[in-house]
Chains A and B, each alone.
Chain A
Amino acid sequence: MRRLSQYITRVPLTPSYTKRLATARLLHRFNFGPTPGQFAALLSEDLATTQRTVLEHSLPDPGLDSLVAPNLPDLGPFPVANTPAATTFLDAIVQGQTELVSWWLDRMVASRYPLTERMTWFWHGHWATALSKVNYPLPMQKQNNTLRTYALANFRDMAKAMVVDGALNFWLDNEENFVSSPNENLARELMELMTLGVNKFTQDDVTAAARALTGYSTVQSNGNVTFDAQQHYSKPLTILGTTSKLDAESLAELIVSKHENAVFIADRLWFRFVSGTTTPPHSLAASFANRDIDSLVSALVHSTAWNDPANSLVKSPVEWFVGTCKALKVQPSTLNSGGFQWDLSQMGQSPFNPPNVGGWPYGQAWLSGVAFQYRFDLTQAIVAMGDLSPLSVPKSKMVQACADWLGVAEWSRRTASTLAAATDTPSEFATLALLAPEYVVSA
């Protein structure tokens, strides 16, 4: 008896692999990865503590206090080309875009309760709108603020706000949508990509929804949307089996009220947070019955998915970048902005610039040799400025200490032996760890 209890007190039970895996997954997928020490600390608690920790988003966030949003002016219409005014104007556009990207990445890294930023990032990919067409950073900043406001609120309210969002309206050509000649772009993508999913509506529904969206015009330079009742289609419309008079907001309300919306949004969250290959349990959509995003995310965090080895995901370039900056305590805006924003764009993921209205790719698509080439560049830049003190342990403990620092459930023998060969130089060691398949992928 005595020997057994001595044994237990003297040799703490190593948290099981399953717990390490679930903890790592929750931190990386909902909080952009752990801060230094956080993973190890949470391993000594029960999983419920980790779940509570990653879900926290209502407390004041001191991490964000020092970050000031860029003050983006309304730059007005494009000046005449090849004039001094045009040069100044383009400089202002580029500077505003660069500041906006750095500011958001700073928030992702600095947030003490990162779920709001993480969800804003998810919704940005969901309501994918891009500077490539919108050009002006100001309307994108406004959209970003809207997405943040509703990131964990009610999806019905989010959809009503987004359907009259200036950047989205411009992006999907709604300023060219007239009663006499509808433009279906916003109507179709609203239903297909943002609320219902493909095959959940007919072409007749698209035609009618486009009419409901007439009468809105957007100021491209500031994203202000105005409504002109004279230009709006005012007769009753039949959409998804319901006939009523509709404007943009009541259209959004009607669509979101359909059960298919709950299934679609639950599926989208599963796809981006859990797995691109497995499917969610039916109960997940039920947790979204009131369209409460907070409840849906909470159901996801509390699901049993985290124990299933099949639910691995590739971190997108931004997720990998933010996680790396968090671990090494590097503020993105202090890096050379041309350098790191270029690398991210070469990897295929510039914030505020998704490739198309479908949002970002996923999974295997991020794992090209070319992405590796730019990931190495980013690693060099971040490690050079990073705090590597978590590696200040005896060499024999560095490999394990690094897994605990970065939130890696377990190194493979391949990676462990490679890291063990680099214990003389912490910067070299960190570079290898950040490029390792176990860190690039959330296994």
Chain B
Amino acid sequence: MINCEFDRRRFLQWTGAGLFAAVSAQLSLDTLASAASSTPLPTNTPILVIVTLYGGNDGLNTVVPFTDPTYQSARPNIALPSSKLLPFTDALAFNSSIPEISGLYAQNKVAIVQGVSYPNPSLSHFTSMAIWQSASMTAAVSSGWIGRWLDLQPHSPFNAIGVGSTLPPLMVGDKSVASMVDLGGIQLPWGPAASLIPRLGRPSSSDVPLEGSAAMSMTDFYSTAQVLGPLVIKSPTGSFISEQLSLVSTLINANVPTRVWEVNLSSFDTHVGELEDQNALLAEVDAALGAFMTSISAGTRSNDVTVLVYSEFGRRVMSNAGLGTDHGTSAPVFIIGNTVKGGLYGEQPPLSALDVNGNLQVTTDFRDIYGGLLHDVLNTPVGDVIPSWSTALSVH
């Protein structure tokens, strides 16, 4: 009898390298499921939760350099008035739409890394998001940074899990991909064909790589469904992001053996009507993160969880007539957790020294943040995931 895990590894080697040796053993779902549920994440294992804000969140209206006169003069129609600010230094204030983050910051549980981007930032959503998610400056690398971390782990569909249905590029490796869970719950196939469907998830020697991935996604679905199914219960109310984070906190507190979780929220591309839209979006994210941290802090994983909140770019310093802002460059990144050393990291880019397009300069490379998280949370040297990168910004 061939060991399941061994088969799967050989299958993965084949999809990666084009080498294949016939695999005949059945993947026993019962074996996989019981293996997963009988191997809860060991206590004190660090967990990373990634929150992606799609569209380019305006950093200047999130962490506001409110005493800089340029802030008012460059964006008079969208500058936040003092009544909408929660100052935390003599120069910086939180947007009052994020009181939970402000409160966590006061407890030293939020690291704010300032001026984050990469050299010569792209103003394209897609190029910039591809750079952030692949942690590569070249389009030749299509794998994501978490995907490459997954490639280094013994295969398990539990290693990394995203919420939703389509895999974000950051979770796709060269050999492995993350699993996904859906807010609508998990339902196993039913009816007369149900008993045979799992057989379609076995690897076959004639599969092209994408067929192999299709097969594996089915097998992984069955293994995750058995463990997660009873836990995935749609929360009755709440915003999209709060439902996602609520699901993640439930699964973390259930000791699901997952090291990386991914959730996301779109619509930060505030070319028009920014104040209303961004404040509403930030308030949703803030309430969701507050509830998430409350839930985690009350459980046994209180000191294990670190949350990363980022967007593909910040926005133009000067606002437009449509009460919005066009695409920009650097912005603050939040890292939140009970073991995070809260405070300010990096330098706030000055509003008085903009680049030729009127955008903020870059003072921190996002790969340094990944480097710190890989080292402190995922116990992996940064160079193993981001080749030729060796520096790291630790907030732990």
Residues of A within 8 A of B (CB): 173, 176-178, 180-185, 188, 192-193, 198-199, 203, 206, 309, 312-314, 346-348, 355-358, 361, 363-374, 376, 380, 410, 412-415, 417-418, 421-422, 425, 427-428, 431-432, 435-438, 440-441, 443
Contact = CB atoms under 8 A, between A and B. Distances in A.
Given A346-B184, A437-B204, 6 more contacts: A181-B320, A361-B166, A365-B172, A412-B211, A441-B208, A443-B208
Interface in B171-192: 172, 177, 179-182, 184, 186-187, 189, 191-192
Contacts of A355: 266
Which 5 pairs of residues, A with B, have the shortest CB-CB distance? A369-B221, A176-B322, A181-B321, A412-B204, A437-B214
Contacts, number: 189
Contacts of B396: none
Nearest to B54: A356
24 contacts: A173-B272, A173-B322, A176-B271, A176-B320, A183-B320, A183-B326, A348-B165, A356-B55, A356-B269, A365-B169, A365-B172, A367-B213, A368-B165, A368-B179, A368-B217, A369-B220, A370-B164, A412-B206, A422-B193, A422-B196, A437-B212, A437-B214, A437-B215, A440-B214
B316 to A, nearest CB: 9
Contacts of B172: 364-365
Contacts of A373: 182, 186-187, 189, 221
Contacts of B372: none
A441 B216 CA distance: 13
Given A367-B213, A414-B200, A176 B321 contact: yes
Given A183-B271, A414-B202, A376 B197 contact: yes
B193 A428 contact: yes
Contacts of A365: 166-169, 172
Contact of B215 (A184, A313, A380, A414): A414
Interface stretch (B58-66, B117-125, B292-300, B337-345): B117-125
A364 B177 contact: yes
Contacts of A312: 208-211
Main secondary structure of the interface of B (DSSP, over half): loop
Contacts of A313: 210
B357 interface: yes
Contact of B214 (A177, A367, A422): A367
Given A184-B326, A346-B165, A440-B214, A369 B180 contact: yes
B218 interface: yes
Interface in B102-148: 122-127
Nearest to A355: B266
Nearest to A442: B210
A348 B182 CA distance: 11
A427 B124 CA distance: 48
A182 B200 contact: no
A370 B5 CA distance: 23
B249 interface: no
Nearest to A177: B322
Nearest to B322: A176
B286 to A, nearest CB: 23
Given A435-B200, A440-B214, A357 B167 contact: no
Contacts of B221: 368-370, 372-373
Given A355-B266, A370-B164, A371-B166, A364 B324 contact: no
B205 interface: yes
Contacts of B218: 369, 372, 435
